[in-house]
Amino acid sequence: MTIRALAQELYQCMKRIEELEKDLAALPLDHPRRTALEKALAEAKKERDQLKGALEGAKG
């Protein structure tokens, strides 16, 4: 994957994280969807970290 493609994917992932965090903040603590959103957020953060590593590796 090119540096540009990695950067674009990282940007999209970061936007997804922002949306998930916003949705999570709007839900009450006992809402049934909260667990699913927390799991999706954790997965998105893991993907973000992997993309950051790949981007750093491609640059260096």
Query: What range does the domain containing 9 cover?
Result: 3-59
Confirm if 49 and 6 have CB atoms less than 8 A apart: no
Residue 58 has what DSSP assignment? H
Confirm if 44 and 20 have CB atoms less than 8 A apart: yes
Q: What local confidence, expressed as pLDDT, does residue 60 receive?
A: 78
**The two structure tokens encoding residue 24:** 């999570």
Token look-up 């603590």 returns: 29
> Could you give the maximum distance between any two Cα atoms of the chain, in Å?
45
Per the structure, the count of domains in the chain is: 1
Residue 28 has what DSSP assignment? -
pLDDT digits (tens, 9 = 90+) for 2-57: 999 999 999 999 999 999 999 999 999 999 999 999 999 999 999 999 999 999 99
Task: Tell if the pTM clears 0.85, that is, is over it.
Answer: yes
Q: What local confidence, expressed as pLDDT, does residue 37 receive?
A: 97
Q: What local confidence, expressed as pLDDT, does residue 57 receive?
A: 92
